[in-house]
Amino acid sequence: MALIEVEYLRKEFKRQKRKDGFWPLMKSLVHREYEIKTAVENISFTIDRGEVVGYIGPNGAGKSTTIKMMVGILVPTSGIVRVNGLVPYENRIENARRIGAVFGQKSQLWWDTPVIESLRLTKYMYDIPNDRYERNMKLFNDVLDLDEFKKVAVRSLSLGQRMRADLCAALLHDPDIVYLDEPTIGLDVVVKERIRQFIREINRERGTTVILTTHDMADIEKLCSRVMVVDHGKLMYDGNLETLKNDFGNMEKMEVDTDEPFAMSEELRRMGVAFGLTEENRTQLTYDKNSINSTVIIKWIMERYSVRDFIVKETEIEQIIRDLYIHLQQQGTPVSAREEALI
Amino acid sequence: MRFLKLYARFIPIYFKSKTEHGFGFYMDFVGFALNHVVSYFVIWALMSRFQTINGWNMYEVMLMYTLNMLTFGIAAVFFFFQMTDVEEDVHMGTFDSLLVKPINPFVHMIIRAFGHFFLGDIVIAVGMLVFCFHKLGLSLDFGSAIAFIAVLLGGVLVQAAFIVISGSACFWLVRSRSLMNMVLFGIRDLMDYPVSIYGTVLRGVLTFVIPYAFVNFYPAQLILNRNDDALFASWLPYATPAVGLLLFAIGYRVWNAGLNRYQGTGS
């Protein structure tokens, strides 16, 4: 049986219509008009024990809303969520015992309390036995290095320290599932790497199921075996990362600095290269890396121009999602990425 | 039991983190206390000029003020800052953290803070209670002491219920601070004087609609023997504990309704 089952999950929010002008505003005091906004629209998926799932999509796509329904914070408008056989919003407390949650922007710890005391309170709240608490603390300390700030009040921690403390608190009670909402947001490279390492170890050694949302492609690449892409409340893609990148991340961008201005070339265009923004001596080129190799292009250019510098950029996750979205809108008529770039 | 055990864990840590502020911590006690000293002084100034208000003498009026302060102080220790914290959480969007913990959010709300601020009020109120009793020549035997404590606890529950209800408004309005202030430091101030000095309508409202009269007026009737002042029914003073329990139950229902609304909208 799957650990998490989500079927036709839907969440609508009623939002008051904003009015401009004096009279419409006065009218709205008496008669309020509402509009329905669908944040999550008929999403279905199952997640098995031990999976590490990246739940990605643009801002406002419905990621956090879905996670909040899985955690039990929000009640769905319709559809089914079952975690460990329990309906989270009906058995919120029972469900909370078995999960850990970290919301990147907001701490779950007690604000004015020193980290070590905050963790001790977590121990009491989750009824964690002494030996398990000591063992986990020692283990987590090795990776997260909590000692250096354990006596500092949570409110005085730096973002990176706070995130490490929150991760520790979320995993002390050995949860089956841990939900991480943007766990690496705003962190420096070193802390990001440390946190990724921690998540990897927890998953490998304890078989903890991890569900994380992120905007950082590296999080996905280094951690996730599976990716779910959501946009406008709909699940756009559910599968492994490689397939996603091959299907939709095939457009590569190259920036070339040349001594003389670069002239558009029909020959390059025929090779499948599209010209993007050109300013002075810097030229942007996009191409499908599955049909043409960057070395072929750079060789062609170097034979004709003197090249000062060039950069090859892989497609960003946001671009992949956009391409995926366009593709899904026109389902039935598969659009190749190359044609899109030319549009 | 689990609740008390958790409470015993949380409160020492709360105090430890508060006392780290040093001087400010002790100033907290003094600030509100000064306020009350001024209030007693106003009652003294007023009453030494008029002798009685509507048949109530100075020490009886002081007793009214004292009981209102005492019941509010006790309720506020456990609920006041706890509810303003909730409002802050709802406003900042951090309330979610109470919903991912394996504990009733109502319990969590209570145990994560302590209104040490109001301990000063309680000390003053107890002192003034003894003083008023002495001046009024009141003494309690064992039976009447038990009865008096029971009605006081009823009054505490009434005060707690009003804090919870007005504070829970944040689940609908996001900001509930002004409503809380209006109820707790506006309407409640009506009780600084005996409710029998007001007109029939206001007496009725304060007894049956917003039953603030049960925080001091009805409890005091039990010990003051002012039968001529009985309002509505002579047994009302004995109903105080039941009114307190009922109102507190309503408060808990309002909190839960607010929680349901929050879980529907997430804001």
B10 interface with A at CB cutoff 8 Å: yes
Q: Which pLDDT score, from 0 to 100, does residue B174 have?
A: 81
Put simply, whether B49 touches A (Cβ < 8 Å) is no
CA distance B25 to B18: 7
- The pLDDT of residue A342 is above 90: no
Distance from CA of B99 to the nearest CA of A (A): 6
pLDDT of residue A180: 93
Contact A117 B13 (CB under 8 A): yes
Which positions in chain A have a beta carbon within 8 angstroms of at least one beta carbon in chain B?
Answer: 13-14, 65, 68, 71-75, 89, 92-94, 96-97, 99, 101, 103, 106-108, 110, 112-114, 117, 120-121, 124-126, 153
Q: Domain containing B37: what range?
A: 2-265
Is B104 in CB contact (< 8 Å) with chain A? yes
Q: What is the mean pLDDT of residues B25-52?
A: 82
Task: Determine, for residues B263 and A93 on separate chains, whether the beta-carbon distance falls below 8 Å.
Answer: no
Give the closest of B6, B16, B104 to A93, CB-based.
B104
8 A C-beta contact, residue B72 and residue B109: no
Chain B residue with minimum CA distance to A114: B17
Among A156-170, A236-250, B65-79, B210-224, where is mean pLDDT lowest? A236-250
Mean pLDDT value of segment A219-244: 86
When pLDDT is averaged across residues B104-131 and rounded to a whole number, the result is 91
Asked whether the beta carbons of residue A75 and residue B264 sit closer than 8 angstroms, the reply is yes
Under the banding of pLDDT at 50, 70 and 90, the label for residue B194 is: confident
Q: Chain B, 187-206: which have a CB under 8 Å from a chain A CB? A: none
Q: Which of A74, A113, A124 sits opposite B266 (nearest CB)?
A: A74
Sequence ranges of the domains in chain A: 4-239, 248-342
**Number of independent structural domains in chain B:** 1
Contact yes or no for A51/A225 (Cβ under 8 A): yes
A14·B265 Cβ contact <8 A? yes
> pLDDT for B119-131, tens place per residue?
888 999 999 999 9
Sheet holding A4-16, edge to edge: A34-47, A4-16, A78-83
Pairing of strands B56-57, A273-279: unpaired
CB distance A74–B263 less than 8 Å?
yes
What is residue A165's three-state secondary structure? helix
pLDDT of B146 > 80? The answer is yes
pLDDT at B173 exceeding the cut of 50: yes
pLDDT at position A301 is 86
Question: What is the residue-wise DSSP string for A313-332?
Answer: EPPPHHHHHHHHHHHHHTTT
Rounded distance between C-alpha atoms, residue B63 and residue B192, angstroms? 9
- To the nearest whole Å, the CA of A54 is away from the closest chain B CA by 21
Question: Closest to B17 (Cβ–Cβ): which among A93, A108, A113?
Answer: A113
In this prediction, what percent of chain B has a pLDDT beyond 70? 95
Note the pLDDT tens digit of each residue in A52-98: 999 988 788 888 899 999 999 999 999 999 999 999 999 999 999 99
Q: What is the pLDDT of residue A343?
A: 35
Q: A106 and B94: CB-CB below 8 Å?
A: yes
Dig out the tokens for B27 from the structure.
């100033």
Assign B229 a pLDDT band (cuts: 50, 70, 90).
low
Three-class secondary structure of residue A122 per DSSP: helix
Answer for the pair A249, A229: CB distance below 8 angstroms, yes or no.
no
Mutation target for A interface from B7, B96, B261: give the one with most A CBs within 10 A.
B96
Give per-residue pLDDT as tens, A23-65: 777 777 777 777 888 899 999 999 999 999 999 887 888 888 9
Q: For B49-103, what is each residue's pLDDT tens digit?
A: 888 888 888 898 899 999 999 999 999 999 999 999 999 999 888 899 899 999 9
Does B52 touch chain A if contact means CB atoms closer than 8 Å? no
Compare CB distances from B263 to A75, A110, A153 and report the shortest one's residue: A75
Q: Is the pLDDT of residue B149 over 70?
A: yes
Computed over every residue of chain B, the mean pLDDT equals 88
Is residue A281's pLDDT more than 70?
Answer: yes
Q: Distance (Å) from the C-alpha of residue B263 to the closest C-alpha of chain A? A: 4
Say which range, A280-294, B73-87, B94-108, B250-264, has the weakest mean pLDDT: A280-294
- Is A278 a residue whose pLDDT tops 80? no
CA B241 from centroid of its chain's CA atoms: 14
* Tokens representing residue A276 in the block: 């993007």
Q: What is the pLDDT of residue B228?
A: 62
Cβ-Cβ contacts under 8 Å, B8 against chain A: none
A4-239 homologous superfamily: P-loop containing nucleotide triphosphate hydrolases (3.40.50.300)
Q: Which one of B93, B101, B260 has the shortest CB-CB distance to A106?
A: B93
pLDDT at B230: 67
The residue written with tokens 């919003």 in the block is A89
Domain covering A248-342, topology: Alpha-Beta Plaits (3.30.70)
Q: Give the closest residue to B262 by CA, choosing from A32, A92, A84, A175.
A: A92
pLDDT at A337: 34
Task: List the alpha helices (DSSP H) in chain B.
Answer: 2-19, 23-50, 58-92, 96-99, 105-111, 119-136, 142-168, 170-173, 177-185, 200-204, 217-224, 240-265
pLDDT at A333 over 50: no
Q: Which residue of A has its CA nearest to B11?
A: A121
Predicted local confidence at residue A69, as pLDDT: 94
With a threshold of 0.90, tell me whether the complex ipTM lies above it: no
The burial of B49, by beta-carbon neighbours within 10 Å (0-12 exposed, 13-18 middle, 19 or more buried), is given as exposed
Whole-number CA gyration radius for chain A: 24
In this prediction, residues B204-219 reach a mean pLDDT of 90
User: How many CB pairs below 8 A link A and B?
Assistant: 72
The pLDDT, as a whole number, for residue A50 is 92
Choose between A5 and B138: higher pLDDT: A5
Give the pLDDT score at A90. 92
Whole-number Cα distances in Å, B135 to B38, B118, B128, B130, B195:
20, 26, 10, 9, 21
Output the CA–CA distances (angstroms, integers) from residue B134 to B59, B137, B223, in the order listed.
10, 5, 13
Indicate the DSSP class of residue A335: P
Q: Between chains, do A13 and B266 touch, taking CB under 8 Å as contact? A: yes
| Mean predicted confidence (pLDDT) in B246-256 | 96
- pLDDT per residue as tens digits for the range A312-324: 887 766 677 667 7
